[in-house]
Amino acid sequence: MAASITTTCPRCGTVVLEREDLLLVVDRWADVSWYQFDCVSCARRIVKEAPEPVVSALSFADVPAFCVPAEVYERRDGAGRPVTDRLGADDLLDAVLLLAGTDDVVALATASS
């Protein structure tokens, strides 16, 4: 027999749920977690903060969980490409290839793209 999980609805008070009635969302990047459920009494969607002890308990109870991927926090440009503030190896390689293909660096620097 599956263990029941007791929590509260702000409208109805104490509610008893099965593990499948909850969804745990863990966001390690923003250091925040929460769980949600539909109240069995009033049918409202309830979202509650989940501090680390609650995350541990719900994980131990095998509540379905979703981990927010890091890609959610990537900034994107208008074309949907990631925007970074730092130069990476690809950027350096592009610059080397561009400079290797010209003898006139001044013309390259002043050319409109």
Q: Are the CB atoms for 26 and 65 separated by under 8 Å?
A: yes
| Average pLDDT value for residue range 4-21 | 96
Of residues 71, 69, 90, the one with CA closest to residue 82: 71
Each domain of the chain, given as residue ranges in start order, spans: 4-71, 73-110
At 70, which amino acid appears? A
How confident is the model over 56-93, as pLDDT tens digits?
Answer: 999 999 999 999 988 777 777 777 776 766 677 777 88
- Beta partners for residue 4, in sequence order: 18
Scanning 4-112, the segments in alpha helix (DSSP H) are 52-60, 89-100, 105-110
> What's the residue count for the chain?
113
How confident is the model over 18-52, as pLDDT tens digits?
Answer: 999 999 999 988 889 999 999 999 999 999 999 99
pLDDT, position 34: 96
Q: What's the rounded Cα separation, in Å, for the pair 96 and 101?
A: 9
